[in-house]
Amino acid sequence: MSTETDLAFFFSAEQLEIAATLDRLLSERWPLENRRADLHPPRLWRDLAELGILGLPFPEAAGGLGGGPLDMVLVTETLGRHLAASPYVASTAVVSTLIGAADPALTGPLMSAASSCAVALDLSDPHSCGATYKQSGGGFVIDGSCVALFGPADAELVLVPARPAPTSVNAGPARVFLLSASRDASRIGKARTLDGLSSHLTLAGVPVERSACVGGECDATARIAAATDLMLLGYAAEAVGLGKALLQRTVDYVKVRKQFGVTVGSFQAIQHRLVEMFTAIEIASAQVQSTAAQFQHATEARRRGLAIATKMFADEAGRNIAREAVQLHGGMGLTSELDVGDFFKRLLTIRMIDGGRKAQKSSLLHLRNVSGPVHSSQWRGAETLL
């Protein structure tokens, strides 16, 4: 019996049409100059719902479109090209992964933008969670400090993965709890970060009923790990979109900027730098697309390694392209007259969202040590970055 699986590495015509439709929506109705004060206004989120983008990652049984990681990557890259910094991955794909068997009563309002959900995850280590729980009567009590929260700052719902407290008498499996931000507001503290789309969550003895445990009573460790890897992949795809936008802006600029009576783009040295930018972003894009295709079929260890390595590739490509874009635009590259600086800042935020290069290297080296030679092939590309 063959164990081989046919993987769809390339986008279908339907997927490309969805991306083209989203591209037109963002270009015509939400240009960046109209969003500088708020990169992701609420009305844009409702427009995504009307287009069906919010329902793309949810299963068909829950009223969604049943899309996979490739669909998520294509949408997120398009959002990145328009600097539509949004909680799309956290509030759709990651939510769908964490809740397991989809509940239409929960997913319906999320897909229609009638409700919003944020997710608490530790991107540097999916097995730490950051929050703990202990049984109390017929329910649970959740505690946690400085837990990373991804999603809208004003989200009505919060999904919190948690592990049993070390002092818990009746220890159980890892669970995912659904909290109401309004009901539990007195025991939930949020510290908004610079990008406005992530926060630090503090849980001070939040009591929850047993029904708040989503996805059933089974161990949620696998779901939490998959959701964490999906977040890393989503940020890598956004970085690729940002890099492509910066490359296009730089090419357009050197075609019209003149020096010594000729356009800067006619200089061979400038052309070489543009080619290097193009090569870097295309390699990162291929890496993201390849990882998305393998995501649902890889073992947990291999998927984790691919997610971290892909994020590293995207971060490195984004850093190089942002640096070149600023330099080739000259002194005005970081001024408010151009939007190059806006893309640059977003790339820097994405680069540090999971702890930066030092944390990534540590995770990869640890995973390589525990995985052994069976998974050695997944490190061939990443070893150049270690």
pLDDT of residue 143: 86
Distance between alpha carbon 42 and the CA centroid of its chain, in Å? Answer: 19
Which tokens hold the place of 68?
Answer: 């996979």
Please list, in sequence order, all residues whose beta carbon lies within 8 angstroms of the beta carbon of residue 125, skipping any fewer than 6 positions away: 363
Parse the chain into domains and list their residue ranges: 13-115, 131-214, 224-385
Q: Dihedrals φ, ψ of 182, to 5°?
A: -75, -40
Packed helices 340-352 and 221-256: angle between N→C axes, nearest 10 degrees: 150
pLDDT of residue 194: 56
Distance between alpha carbon 32 and the CA centroid of its chain, in Å? Answer: 20
Examine domains 131-214 and 224-385 and report if their fold is the same: no
pLDDT of residue 129: 75
Q: Dihedrals φ, ψ of 163, to 5°?
A: -115, 160
CATH of 224-385, one of 1.10.940.10, 3.40.1080.10, 1.20.140.10, 3.40.50.2300: 1.20.140.10
Cβ atoms of 266 and 260 closer than 8 Å: no
Please list, in sequence order, all residues whose beta carbon lies within 8 angstroms of the beta carbon of residue 322, skipping any fewer than 6 positions away: 243, 246, 343, 344, 347, 348
Topology of domain 13-115, per CATH? Butyryl-Coa Dehydrogenase, subunit A; domain 1 (1.10.540)
* Closest residue by Cα to residue 292 from 236, 241, 336: 236
Q: Class of the 131-214 domain?
A: mainly beta
pTM over cut 0.85: yes
Eight-class DSSP state of 379: G
| pLDDT tens per residue across all 386 residues of the chain | 334 556 677 788 888 899 999 999 999 988 888 777 777 788 889 999 999 999 999 988 888 888 889 999 999 999 999 998 888 999 999 999 988 766 777 888 999 998 888 898 888 777 777 788 888 888 888 888 777 888 887 788 889 888 888 775 556 788 889 888 776 554 565 555 555 566 777 888 888 888 888 876 778 888 999 999 999 999 999 999 999 999 999 999 989 887 888 888 788 999 999 999 999 999 999 999 999 999 888 888 889 889 999 999 999 999 999 999 999 988 777 777 788 888 998 898 898 888 777 777 777 776 766 555 434 444 455 555 54
Q: Which string of DSSP letters, residue by residue, matches 26-59?
A: HHHH--GGGTSS-SS-HHHHHHHHHHTSTTSSS-
* Closest residue by Cα to residue 59 from 106, 20, 2, 26: 106
Distances in Å between the Cα of 378 and the Cα atoms of 228, 291, 309, 351 are 18, 10, 9, 21
> Where are the alpha helices (H) located in the chain, listed in sequence order?
13-29, 42-51, 69-81, 88, 95-98, 104-111, 221-256, 268-294, 300-328, 340-352, 356-371
